[in-house]
Amino acid sequence: MKVAVIGVGAMGRNHVRSYSSLHGVRLVGVADVNEKQGRKIAKSYHTRFYTRYLDLIETEKPQAVSIVVPTSLHYQVSMDCIKRGISVLVEKPLTSTIGEAKKLVCEAKKRKVVLLAGHIERYNPVIVKLQKLINSGEFGDILSIVVKRVGLYPPRISDVNVVTDLAVHDLDIICSLLGKTPSKIYARGGKVLNNKRIDHAEIFLDFNRLSCFIQVNWITPVKIRTLSITGKKGYAEIDYVAQKLDIYKSNNNTGQPAGFQEFLSKFGSPRKEQIRLKGEEPLRLELEDFIQAVLLKRPTLVTPEEGVRAVILSQAVLKSITKNKPIILKYP
């Protein structure tokens, strides 16, 4: 199967690397406006280089492409590919606006091609496992989810803010884990590093009977990617980077502890289970899903509609920050 990558910056290079290692996949070319960088990548992976992505897709005629360009260009580049019958994996967020996202989904359905928004964390083995545990009732009714996704400012950032770059992951994951969407969003945020873009945000999601909190920033001097979930039957913590999942069973029972030692026994050492996972690269799993969806004409793990949903939610967060008030959500 012939594939290509449009945009070979920091993330695009990873797509090139992963495609080059997949069985049954032939990387027929890459495109980038940075000729020096693009030619270097193309040479390293023994493929062709193009400065214009239209020349790439019209000459090489790939069946599928990864689009890893600045967010403001997602819509136009994706639409150009979709209209030529090419399946598209576009890095998150799907587009800059809700209207553009909906148009892409409609066009992809019309042309009967795959459209996958690159919500890579959905493919992280630790999230896949947590989803299965939640669905099985392991934690009972979910009461709350708390997320922390923080670290230093990445130099690659050009046209997005911390909400559309980082929080969009967690807005998508929370809805996926719970199988529902929030009724209301309230967020605070600001610009600390410079006046160009929002670099920190605290987001509250109201699901009526449960609530979720997301903290994202480009300020914390250490990279942290964690999520914790509290249910009536237990509690779980995950570390995305380490692909680590710890489960704590509820120690609740009637009666008060007779003394301090019994208190420590009951609350100081909760029953903990560490779930061992096979370490796998989420990007590779995402690309494999994409390729199989194209070949077998089957749905991807992340649906096009979920890509639109993430754009709707991230726009609501930004609106809440700007207006400093809760936003009641309406879904199409």
Q: Which residue in 189, 184, 198 sits closest to 316, CA to CA? A: 184
**CA dist list (Å): 36 to 13, 29, 66, 187:** 14, 15, 20, 41
- pLDDT tens figures, 150-164: 999 988 777 889 999
pLDDT given for residue 195 in this prediction:
85
Task: Calculate the alpha carbon distances from 95 to 110, 207, 245 in Å.
Answer: 19, 25, 32
Residue-level pLDDT at 331: 75
Question: Is residue 254 helix, strand or coil?
Answer: coil
- And the tokens for 263? 């208190």
Query: Which one is predicted more confidently, 295 or 249?
Result: 295
Give the phi and the psi of residue 255 in degrees, each rounded to 5.
Answer: 90, 150
E-strand ranges in 15-93 read 26-31, 49-50, 64-67, 87-91
Per-domain boundaries in the chain: 2-121+283-302, 122-277+312-328
Residue 276's pLDDT band (boundaries 50, 70, 90)?
confident
Q: Please state, in angstroms and rounded to a whole number, the distance separating the CA atoms of residues 60 and 93.
A: 27
Q: pLDDT tens-digit profile of 279-294?
A: 999 999 999 999 999 9
Q: What is the mean pLDDT of the chain?
A: 95
DSSP, collapsed to helix, strand or coil, labels residue 90 as strand
* Portion of the chain with pLDDT greater than 70, in percent: 94
Average pLDDT over residues 297-314: 98
Examine the pLDDT at 215 and tell me if it is beyond 90. Answer: yes
Contact 55, 35 (CB under 8 A): no
Element (H, E) at 101: helix 98-111
In angstroms, the first-to-last Cα distance of the chain is: 36
Averaged pLDDT for residues 226-251: 94
Query: Is 122-277+312-328 a CATH 3.30.360.10 domain?
Result: yes
% of the chain exceeding 90 in pLDDT: 87
Higher pLDDT, 196 or 321: 321
Stated pTM of the model: 0.93
Contact (CB, 8 A) for 188 and 201: yes
Q: What is the model's pLDDT at position 267?
A: 62
Tokens 């797509």 belong to 15
Q: What is the mean pLDDT of residues 203-211?
A: 96
The 10s digit of each residue's pLDDT in 114-124 is: 999 999 999 99
pLDDT on residue 196: 87
- The strands making up 49-50's β-sheet, listed across from edge to edge, are 49-50, 26-31, 2-6, 64-67, 87-91, 115-118
pLDDT at 18 over 60: yes
Secondary structure of the chain: what % helix, strand, coil (to 5)?
40, 25, 35
For 88, phi and psi rounded to 5 degrees?
Answer: -130, 130
The tokens describing 121, both together, are 């964390």
Q: Collapsing DSSP states into helix, strand and coil, what is residue 197?
A: coil
Note the pLDDT tens digit of each residue in 39-95.
999 999 999 999 999 999 999 999 999 999 999 999 999 999 999 999 999 999 999
Please state the rounded mean pLDDT for residues 259-278: 75
**pLDDT score, position 60:** 98
Q: Residue 315 in contact with residue 160, Cβ under 8 Å?
A: no
Please name the fold of domain 2-121+283-302. Answer: Rossmann fold (3.40.50)
Question: Any residues with CB less than 8 A from the CB of 288 and at least 6 apart, and which?
Answer: 22
- Please compute the mean of the pLDDT values over residues 206-221 and round it to a whole number: 96
pLDDT at 254 over 70: no
Q: Which pLDDT value is given to residue 70?
A: 95
Neighbours of 48 (CB within 10 A): 16
